[in-house]
A and B are shown apart, each in its own frame.
Chain A
């Protein structure tokens, strides 16, 4: 069935629909990761976004639920050049079309994804709509659309605990749209993780006396989460070791009084090089972000821990007066997993 992508500038791409029916309004972003589409599809940090895969052949290894990063679909819409009708992998449970229909994800294939990516790249941020009837799209409304309230949607509604097999520490995780792999990495290091809804009071979290606190996820503009930022400020004041990941990294920076700005175009993919400022070593990481902590706003209480090797933007902060650090990157390549070890060491004092 024919479907269309309408950009906020009025440009229309004709393709073929697959997955769920219906229209979707969202911000449009791309990812250059060549594998890892399942992780992307179940990553809540894509909330409110239509994701374009720049690699043209998607769905090759089918749907493998143990690899999911969350129990719900992250993106609002999905665009590929070609999806694989007969996937091949020993763990595959089926193809993307069936999966998307079941999970109610709107998707489009068959368009010139490279041409589209260049438009998105040059625009910085852009809204778009997937529809069956391009003439029905209200461009003014599309332009006005703003991604908002995504953290609430991404966060767990009830607190829950994932026990480590060999428990040595307890970690409180403030869920802004966390990826399952974050919990798994902590578990693997002997950390039992209690995942709290984003709107849990700081006092309630601290009452459980966790050895450390992780703020992880998620989608949207960090600055809109004012209550959450206040909670994080309180948590930081407690002196409990803290680790901010992705949106959590930005929220922690805001809580500590630093500024956020937008990159000309985001970092989107699993090939992003970051330099560890303490060793000079460069690691390849996975990223999906448009907002970035403003290095110029840092004072003598914080220093850049990781910088992007290309544009030198902030990819991690080490706080000097509280036991806390944060990284903008997450997932994908396993190069920088040592940050979890660093967090455990921090908890051990």
Chain B
């Protein structure tokens, strides 16, 4: 069936802010969908609340609404735009759920909107546990045997039928409380008794335990004619039990014999047929390790994280093809543009393996539980391509930016064998390294397999690395040994370090092409990965014929690696815009990045893509081949910036801010000297190396002080210390991670925080906009609500900000993008931080001001002048709209992380609110960020001493809305003194039946304001309350400023029906 000609206008719903489990992959998917629709002449209406996306760029769609992704808003947009169809499967779970609600309520039919892609019936079959099970049984597919029981005897009886171990899942308990795995009758009796007690309906589910089975996934594509293919199989390194998003995954599956693979493949296709999926679908299966028994775990009938990975792993663009299928095409009508000779009704053949390694936030959340289980915790991932598992995992270890360049984790070297054995039993982010350590110590493949159930295939491959390292340790390093090491994925640096020898030579990689077909057809995909093949063995570098043909020269752009807290999708946005600008200018552009979720690693973003780790050696090898005229490091976040020094020392030209400029901004002493010479104020502070020095520095400047390691990212390990004890605690943590690190101790000034992104052409500067944080200093800029234009910046102050910014830029000899954070206190301006690179706020500010910041920065970095670029110099005039950037968190997914905001960044994503007034913008921003803004329920207040003076004012606002106030004794006393009635709630330890936690669980509380003293430690009451709030999804405000802003919205007159819907394309 060809294109459905009735579709003239299609609505696409994006996935909203980045949260754990829903990241940049949906920007990649949405961007592909927009292109696929427009290719067929279809008008695209796009809704997404996330401004830090390529898909919300003006050029991507005809109408773009950066509006809250709520049912009310989407309905208004449908009424306004009258689309013919709505694409349901491209915007993650968010887009899917909204589409289903619209379809099921009859709204789509009423408005003559055709649902494209996943249908309600399909979704029900996939998402409803019982319907799914019934569907599987109806087509003869095995399901995990389970039964609900109401008595202990019932549980024991059923366990006899299915055999031990069994999983016990109590019904309707929070976070699965009371559940577990029972290995024996006795254990089951205990679990069942407890579970039945905890379950409000006295019911537990007894399920056959399949942990330890192989976890296999298929990415399937099916069209409306019923043609279905598997794009690739994927096998998890970690057996069933760890969420696939937290697993190391390899594609294709490697331990299944063809009989097993074909059996599972056929099952996956049968399932997708039974569900009636049209588009991409992910099928997760479990395969018994020593029999032909299998079962289906889960089906996701939409584009997903796995499909983004599979797209990048195979070259088959799943989101694009899903879109084409949704608008009517069949797979054999769509040409595979990679080969130009084959159609999309084929299955990609790989002649390499692709490996995914997750990126977890535990380096930032030191008190978070590192255990991995059914709840995904990773924020991002890296992918590597190689012709062996060994090389793939080595590339992953060094590319994940976890401070490693091999699988040896230094901190495991000191633990005992017994401790190692214990640790290995529990899956955590460090298990791969524990396994490697165990193999290195000679614990043996068999024992490690029995402990972890990781397939022996993977363990034996790891043994190849262990044995190689032993060989190197003997000091033997001839030509053959060296080349073998390169094939195993070792960097020259590691080979040198492990062998203690100089290298016999330096091998150059043979870059290979990703072509979807294992060379069956000729392809010219400019998508490469490094392998090492001996010239005598026919080694061919396939990138070579592409290189050196550029008329104007080649430019290398470095991407930003895996998504993590503090370095998110914004940097991918910036890299992509840099690439696009360079292409426009006539340069040939080469990009290096290893994040499969992104638009930057789409093979037609740059002229050539090298899917490699952003490490000195991997980048240098590409540079030696490509010989670019220079390298952009300014758009790839700290990942790219960190490489500057190495590149500079190797004679590579850094385009934009020089290595010296970057160093001056980061080196405390040099930066202080610069500010002093310019007569610009900054909070007083010192750089220290030891605990003693830190304590002395704090004494000198006086508490509170801000402490952080130098070379920080997203305020990693940054705290406000109020006492010597704080300093002692945090120095220990920081020095454990890197004893060489310098720690900065600064006076903490509580003022208004102002943020500026400027573009400097070497002489003039342009400030596209000045932002102001709603929260006063002390909360990381990434976690603050940022308001544009800055309301506290008067014309006079604006001139002052411009003057200081310009002087700093000149002083640093900056070129390109510069981000500066200031504190405003009593009309004085203090500099907190300067980053001569693209910042987190670039996409936000670009979109609301209309200034193409990345393009201007790219152009001036290569010599153009701001005066010639059409946007002038000075502070860019503000437009008619007010914008807020509101942070979004993933706290409910991270056990034991305190939700209190501070100088260390905790948010994973952001949304935009755009309005005619600050109030309207804030209302939209907060709604988009997930606040329901209900005007019911009580308010529980608990604030630290320093906030107590301001407490009555904020409490009065909630009181005037008619919301009852609650607090602990001290708080209530203050409120009553101010004439505000409030109810005393006992502390947790005071009363086990009636306390703060039971109050929260009762559902009586609508808002929590909790700023009480320093948190972090999960055992503290304040942390327990905030954690409970996160699980219960009760809005918990940890800053009085945020609370005031929210109260303002509640007091105002805006609703989701009367805000203005702004089409970004008309701004």
Binding site for B on A (CB under 8 A): 11, 13-15, 30, 32-39, 54-57, 60-61, 64, 67, 81-82, 84-91, 110-118, 121-122, 265, 268-273, 275, 280-282, 284, 309-311, 332-335
Contacts and interface: CB of A to CB of B under 8 A. Distances in A.
Contacts of B512: 114
Contacts of B347: 270-271, 284, 333
List 9 tightest A-B contacts by C-beta distance, closest first: A88-B457, A32-B349, A115-B540, A271-B347, A36-B258, A54-B518, A90-B290, A13-B538, A112-B538
Contact of A34 (B330, B350, B533): B350
Interface string B249-276: 0001111111101100110010000000
9 contacts: A55-B518, A86-B460, A88-B255, A111-B538, A112-B533, A114-B351, A268-B520, A271-B348, A282-B227
B540 A121 contact: no
B533 A115 contact: yes
Contacts of A34: 252, 349-350
B258 A272 contact: no
A281 B343 contact: no
A69 to B, nearest CB: 10
**Interface hub of A39, A269, A275, A309 (most chain B Cβ within 10 A):** A309
A13 B537 contact: yes
Interface string B312-351: 0000000000000000001110000000011101111111
Given A86-B460, A118-B540, A265-B520, 16 more contacts: A14-B534, A39-B258, A54-B351, A57-B254, A67-B258, A82-B388, A89-B257, A112-B537, A269-B349, A271-B348, A280-B330, A282-B332, A284-B345, A284-B347, A310-B343, A334-B266
A117 B522 CA distance: 11
A281 B332 CA distance: 9
Given A56-B388, A309-B332, A89 B255 contact: yes
B510 A112 contact: yes
B265 A333 contact: yes
B43 to A, nearest CB: 30
B74 interface: no
Nearest to B457: A88
Contacts of B538: 11, 13-14, 111-112, 115-116
Contacts of B542: 114
Interface residues of B, number: 58
Contact of B539 (A112, A121, A284): A112
A310 B269 contact: no
B209 interface: no
Given A32-B520, A309-B346, A333-B265, A90 B291 contact: yes
B455 A88 contact: yes
B817 to A, nearest CB: 40
Contacts of B521: 121
B615 to A, nearest CB: 23
Contact of A117 (B226, B290, B519, B539): B519
B517 interface: yes
Given A54-B519, A114-B540, A273-B332, A61 B257 contact: yes
Contacts of A37: 258
A41 to B, nearest CB: 11
Contact of B346 (A14, A56, A118, A272): A272
A112 to B, nearest CB: 4
Interface string B874-914: 00000000000000000000000000000000000000000
B633 interface: no
Interface in B277-313: 289-291
Contact of A284 (B229, B387, B518, B533): B229
B540 A273 contact: no
A311 B348 CA distance: 16
Nearest to A16: B537
A56 B352 CA distance: 6
Given A14-B537, A33-B349, A269 B332 contact: no
B921 interface: no
B353 interface: yes
A4 B226 CA distance: 47
A38 B388 contact: no
A64 B346 contact: no
Contacts of A265: 520
B456 interface: yes
Contacts of B291: 90
A32 to B, nearest CB: 4
Nearest to B532: A112
B257 A333 contact: no
A87 B459 CA distance: 11
B345 A121 contact: no
Contacts of A275: 332
Contacts of B825: none
Nearest to B516: A271
B225 interface: yes
Interface in B505-544: 510, 512, 517-522, 533-534, 536-540, 542
